[in-house]
Amino acid sequence: MNSSMNSLEIDHGMQALALIDPDIARAYKQLGAPPERHRPKGFETFLSAIVSQQISTKAAQAIFDRVKELMVDVTAKELLSLDDQALRDAGLSWRKIEYAKGLAEAIESGSFDIEELDSLNDKEAIESITRLRGFGRWSAEIYLMFSLKRQDIFPADDLAILVALGRLKGVEDKPTPKQARDMVEHWSPWRSVGALFLWHYYHGAPI
């Protein structure tokens, strides 16, 4: 069920996409393949996802570093032992503290099993993650792509992906998430590589 999503796999996926989509073929020739992107599996990555919501990458990193300093090990059990005010002082909003503690409680109670995600199919894994408070479909899909290395994920709620897809396809307005999913259905089973390429295109393509 997993795919390596290493540079060899990405090249293979890009060649397959170029054969079925002339717009990809053209842009691929111009920009080359996107770089690999990975995130480790586990609690720390889920906690980082909560911290990062709706703030800049730089601000998120600073807050996350302060939160990690409060713990000996970054585990669900350790987080639950922390005082809410200490987390607030580290820069987390009350809402994010609620989400973080909820995540930790779900792990400690066994109602959410990070290890089990490996054995679930994409749809089941997304459903399992989105049952957690504070995790929408985008967060779940990003985890599947970068931590579980699933090869056919398309995070259509990502603004950069929508802008890049509209630009790639020469559409005047950026597509809606639903339109975007329809537009890339034929990219299956390489939609993760396609999404990686759209981020690459977003940052590197001429407007």
Beta-strand ranges (E) seen in 7-61 are: none
* Model confidence, pTM: 0.90
- Which run of H or E residues covers position 206? none
Any idea which residues carry the catalytic annotation? Answer: 158
Q: How far is CA 103 from the centre of its chain?
A: 17
The three state secondary structure string of 129-179 is HHCCCCCCHHHHHHHHHHCCCCCCCCCCCCHHHHHHHHHHCCCCCCCCHHH
| pLDDT tens by residue, 6-59 | 889 999 999 999 999 999 999 999 999 999 888 999 999 999 999 998 889 899
At the topology level, CATH places domain 43-146 in: Endonuclease III; domain 1 (1.10.340)
Ordered DSSP codes for 82-116: S-HHHHHHTT--HHHHHHHHHHHHHHHHTSS-TGG
Do domains 7-37+152-204 and 43-146 share one topology? The answer is no
Instruction: Please state which of the four CATH numbers 1.10.1670.40, 1.10.760.10, 1.10.3210.10, 1.10.3720.10 is assigned to the domain occupying 7-37+152-204.
Output: 1.10.1670.40
| pLDDT tens by residue, 88-97 | 999 999 999 9
| pLDDT tens by residue, 99-144 | 999 999 999 999 999 999 999 999 999 999 999 999 999 999 999 9
Domain boundaries, the chain: 7-37+152-204, 43-146
Q: Which residue has the tokens 């259905």?
A: 185
